[in-house]
Structure 1
Amino acid sequence: MIVEERIKRSIALRKDDVFLRSEFSKFGSSAQVSRALRHLVASGVLVRLGVGVFAKAKTSVLSGKPIPIRPLEVLAPMALQKLGVKITAGRALREYNAGDSLQLPAGVVFDTGSRRINRKLGFGGRYVVYENHHA
């Protein structure tokens, strides 16, 4: 499959770890790109983080299944930046970093300001949580 090979080569040559589906639209029709991305996810080259959001994959030492090459805490901000969403650390992480709290933040939480985000990003049962502050 020509489109799949071109996308695979493009992924290998890029320094990015996160890709949007729209970045591959120049390689073929919508159906061809969708099919190629499905094959790349099935073969373990990519993992799907959300609708139209993919990350480079590696094989897990424990399960032998494909997992993202970096943790969700690193990949999610990259994906949101590519989607044009400005984020900051969540309230719990800000308090922990400032020394106001000794409790480590659980999960991946980002503050999106006054913007409401409805996009589900995650992998393996762990998903990004969005919180809003109206400062």
Structure 2
Amino acid sequence: MLTLADQILERFPGSGIVDRANLALSANYDSVGRALGQLVKERKLVRVGRGQYKKASGRAPVSAGSIAELIERKVARSRRNVFLRGDFVGLGSYDAVGRALRQMIQSGRLVQIGYGLYAKAERSPFSGKATPLVGIKRLATEALARLGKTVVSSSFDTAYNSGRSTQVPTGRTLAVRDRVRRRIGYDGNYVVLERA
């Protein structure tokens, strides 16, 4: 007779994700949870989300610490200043990548500039806080480009460059041709997005 763990493993396809609710087993909820936890510990399954599992690949899962090291290496080698969470998908499960990104933010090597947006950072010698390596306008422009949005000159830039205004633009206003619902910035400093 098959054990509960073996019955669970039989219900997993080669590479698909299985929701815990879809496991048709005669065992009670707690027993299934314990068996799933044991299979994750034995590295036969990988938890990819809340109540979602998949079969572990041939290589052993990577710990959050080493995922942080992989992310750090990838960030250091890249010429980009802005990274999407999707850039790190292949390095581990959703939760493990999230933990590794939080570790990097706490250590000051990354700063979160928006939902799913991260920027290279370093500790400021004056305040000790993590600050991005480039200015907020360049960060926002790069972030919007990574999201597939088109950035054009703002009304303030256009008025100043054409001589209609003597007010020097701050650079915190960006005109975007598409609709954007994200806030981009850090430490209370956000860019203002206007519709072009």
> Is the structural similarity TM-score above 0.5?
yes
**Is this contact kept in 2: 1:107–1:126, CA < 8 A?**
no
Q: Does 1:125 align with 2:177?
A: no
Alpha carbon RMSD of aligned pairs, Å?
1.1
1:34-87, Cα deviation, whole Å (9 max, x unpaired): 000000000011001011100000111210111001110111100100000011
Deviates more, 1:96-105 or 1:74-83: 96-105
**Equivalent residue for 1:64, pick from 123, 128, 140:** 128
SS at match of 2:73: helix
Alignment correspondent of 2:175? 111
CA distance in 1 between counterparts of 2:176 and 2:138 reads 16
> TM-score scaled by structure 1?
0.92
Q: Does 1:102 align with 2:161?
A: no
SS at match of 1:74: helix
Identity of paired residues, percent? 39
Letter in 2 for 1:78: E
Letter in 2 for 1:24: F
Q: Which ranges of structure 1 fall in alignment gaps of 5 or more residues?
A: none
**Equivalent residue for 2:116, pick from 46, 49, 52:** 52
Q: Which has the higher contact order (CA 8 A, sep 6+)?
A: 1
> TM-score scaled by structure 2?
0.65
SS at match of 2:138: helix
Deviates more, 1:117-126 or 1:38-47: 117-126
**Is this contact kept in 2: 1:18–1:56, CA < 8 A?**
yes
Alignment correspondent of 2:140? 76
CA distance in 2 between counterparts of 1:107 and 1:87 reads 13
If you compute each CA radius of gyration, which structure gives the higher value, 1 or 2? 2
Q: Does 1:39 align with 2:111?
A: no
Pairwise CA distance, 1:123: 1.2
Deviates more, 1:20-29 or 1:102-111: 102-111
SS at match of 1:118: coil
Letter in 2 for 1:84: G
Letter in 2 for 1:54: Y
Letter in 1 for 2:115: V
Alignment correspondent of 1:4? 68
Q: Which ranges of structure 2 fall in alignment gaps of 5 or more residues?
A: 1-64
